[in-house]
Amino acid sequence: MLNLSRAATVAQAGFNRWLVPPAAIAVHMCIGQVYGFSVFKKPLAKAIGITAPAATDWTEADVGVAYSIALALLGISAAVFGKWVERSGPRKTMVASMVCFCTGLLLSSLAVKTHQLWLLYLGYGLVGGIGLGLGYIAPVSTLMKWFPDRPGMATGMAIMGFGGGALIGGPMAEELMKKYASATSVGASEAMMLMAGLYAVSMLFGAIIVRVPADGWKPAGWEPKEHVKPLVTNASVSVDVAWKTPQFWMLWVVLCMNVSAGIGILGQASPMIQDMFKVTPAAAAGYVGLLSLCNLGGRFFWSSMSDLVGRKGIYCIYFILGAALYASVPWTQGRGSVTLFVVATGLILTMYGGGFATIPAYLRDLFGSYQVGAIHGRLITAWSMAAIIGPQLVDRLSVANKKTMPPDQAYNSIFHLMVALLVVGLVANLLVRPVDAKHHVRDTAA
């Protein structure tokens, strides 16, 4: 019987901290499947008609609501359960995440089988979304405790698996749907059911091997240094105080805008490239996987770079370079160059992923390590808002535009809107200042 208590996960002397990243990745690669959800959109939009959508079929926008609900619940559950995660430890949290996320996939399978849209929203959106939130913050908090000497790299390792979830989940879902497709089924129900079982095994593996450091542990040969950078503190701020500071809300806007500008495109990636460049569904699934790889790599690369450049500086790069790339995307479509389009959107997704991986270290710089996991949980509500803003803007605007223009031209105005969102995020980032000393906790042992 697996002991789920936090005490049972405290590492013994001599434990190798490099065993913890695989545990984090084993969980994040599974729940990161949400980034590959777009491969289900077109099949589920003709689940009744099979060869052509029927009047009773769901629309792609209808299906996309499940994606928005899931990501919204990710942020809400992370905020609500943040303190519980810190108290309970990563193992119990990872198991709870597995139960919710895999149950959500099973309910989604049933929803497709019975063609009940509300059940898809309940399963993939509500129940699965809670699993996303629990599985997301536990590995981040744990790895930051194991790597106090390299917080940016630590958060990159913790979160890069989530960004890479679609690298496996997208193509796997596509192949499974092909395998189980028939004259009466698009194969999505069977694919979701099998994926639930595979993900359950991987997430349990992560829960079994994860450990937390003993109180007072520190890396061999490392001593905490007195920080001299203005935006990096040696002090700490409690979660109940941190969220009332202007710095917290500036970072909330920073994350919300960065995520809104990327998540809508990622959620529509498969239909978008098919509409814009007439590629096959298999090629579109490969594109989703490539974006996932960019998302994954960016999380580790950019967050590690932030240890050198600083968090504020790296976010300036995200927003300025990202806006320039978004502005160039309609040009690549006009030239008919799928290669340039893939390069531009791939670079955008590296910085989208990098923004996720850098924000926990930014929080640690401003508020200290005390309760940083719970602070991170509350900040992720920005993701919840972005999960509504980004996908719904892209889904609804693309549907509306397709009524008045060719499908391959329907996305250009959306890219310009993404530029505006990134400019708002840039302004918020430039307004971030050090936290006033009056908010610092004198004793973090309590």
User: What domains can you pick out in the chain, each with its CATH number?
Assistant: 18-214+229-439 (1.20.1250.20)
261 and 422 Cβ atoms separated by less than 8 Å: yes
Burial class for 324, CB neighbours closer than 10 Å (0-12, 13-18, 19+) = middle
pTM of the model: 0.77
* Average pLDDT along the chain: 87
How many C-beta atoms surround the C-beta of residue 273 within 10 A? Answer: 24
With 0-12 CB in 10 A as exposed, 13-18 as middle and 19+ as buried, what is 337? middle
Q: What is the pLDDT of residue 445?
A: 46
Low-confidence ranges of the chain (pLDDT < 70): 1, 224-230, 267, 442-446
Residue 10 φ then ψ, to 5°? -70, 125
- Listed residue (395, 432, 434, 392) closest to 411, CA to CA: 395
Q: What is the number of helices (H) and of strands (E) in the chain?
A: 18, 0
DSSP H helical segments within 368-444, as ranges? 372-379, 381-402, 412-430
pLDDT digits (tens, 9 = 90+) for 390-434: 877 777 787 788 788 877 787 888 888 889 999 999 999 999 998
Write down the pLDDT at residue 155.
74
pLDDT of residue 414: 85
The continuous run of DSSP H or E covering 281 comes out as helix 281-309
pLDDT of residue 246: 93
